[in-house]
Structure 1
């Protein structure tokens, strides 16, 4: 079937084309529903939907890797789940299943720092209705929607310690990803070199100094995210018993 083929000859994606703008409109619409309907949603039993969302993410990601293998495009240098958004995807699945506060804190920052940029400036070759188009936008939107859902509906909130934790988490990952890059000749998280297209990294200095610049940006944007989302933690069902944000 053409929509599963490994060629993008008939499905060339263009940024801010009709299909891209339609996806962004859907993203904004559902985000608005989560925000303005959070009080009503909080009263509903949504556990089955949470588990279904986790399962759908796993199956779509599995389908993506099977598609890469079937089309001869899977290789260790660029197909391992070591990009920030891939890591965020698995954090989303874990969060939806466990409702763990630490996982929420990590995902809040990794999803909003990574997936939001991916939605606005997609590194994507395949347009609608190709499978890769659905995989890309579904997974990235779900990461952010999960953060919004846990924040607005379930009442989770970050503290200033959340910023420390995500910074430590990313820096624990960094040497591991650097090692994998060296072993498989990869460029996961752009730690080996800048991407071949124009990007924010072009303004952050030459290799390897742009990595240090990125560290600074992570701190700055993480603090901004904390300022926007901080508040009194009131996990649904336990109103008033959460910890006060610091």
Structure 2
């Protein structure tokens, strides 16, 4: 059992500012490199390289937790919302140039886009749920920074954008997934709390509040609202740009 596996970084603390600023600068720098490659029409290999790195990072995280003796099914499995988003971010770059129906690629992007709300709050209220030992501390920001980068990258250079009513589709698709994750938490037992279905996180996260089971309803409600407003922001912007 890992002692003190929860670690929350106080919002607006020096640590909070330093970590988020460095992560944002790294994202901007890689986007700058992406733009240079885009102008030279050299994104294909770049897509594969970044996609593979993002997926290998997930496997490395599992191996590293095992190596330092803190891997546990109760908190180490990559089935948090941000873990899925990390997987999606790698997959969408790898599959972009493959001969796969375009609608499935856009569906993958939409899952990544709307579920990335978890990554947004991960930056706003950082909470480590499997310890912050060694490289795991830095991997937290590599993971969430990767999600942010891929979302911007896909829209700037790969032509992805949310489709009509996509927010509702992803919201509805998320419901059975939430139920499945909740069942997995119950089966694993102990401290298993993926997607925070059994108890809210320790941070003062405005996305998840209340006590079980009320917090699940609030989580779902806030997720739907966030999906909708993100859709309004990006869908209208995309259509406005196309019309011009």
TM-score in terms of structure 1 length = 0.78
Deviation at residue 145 of structure 1 after TM alignment: 0.6
2:17 is matched with which residue?
Answer: 21
Compared with structure 1, are the counterparts of its residues 52 and 172 closer, same or farther at alpha carbon in structure 2 (3 Å cutoff)? same
Secondary structure of residue in 1 paired with 2:174: helix
Compared with structure 1, are the counterparts of its residues 48 and 25 closer, same or farther at alpha carbon in structure 2 (3 Å cutoff)? same
2:222 is matched with which residue?
Answer: 217
**Separation in 2, partners of 1:102, 1:34:** 25
2:234 is matched with which residue?
Answer: 229
**Separation in 2, partners of 1:92, 1:123:** 21
| Aligned residues: CA RMSD | 3.0
Residue in structure 2 matching 1:76, options 73, 93, 108? 73
Residue in structure 2 matching 1:190, options 189, 193, 196? 196
1:119 is matched with which residue?
Answer: 123
Matched length? 224
**Separation in 2, partners of 1:14, 1:192:** 22
**1:97 pairs with 2:94:** yes
Compared with structure 1, are the counterparts of its residues 163 and 26 closer, same or farther at alpha carbon in structure 2 (3 Å cutoff)? same
Deviation at residue 21 of structure 1 after TM alignment: 2.6
TM-score in terms of structure 2 length = 0.79
Deviation at residue 195 of structure 1 after TM alignment: 2.9
2:102 is matched with which residue?
Answer: none
In the alignment, is the contact (CA less than 8 A) between 1:68 and 1:74 conserved in 2?
A: yes
Structure 1 unpaired stretches of 5+: 1-5, 235-239
In the alignment, is the contact (CA less than 8 A) between 2:92 and 2:108 conserved in 1?
A: yes
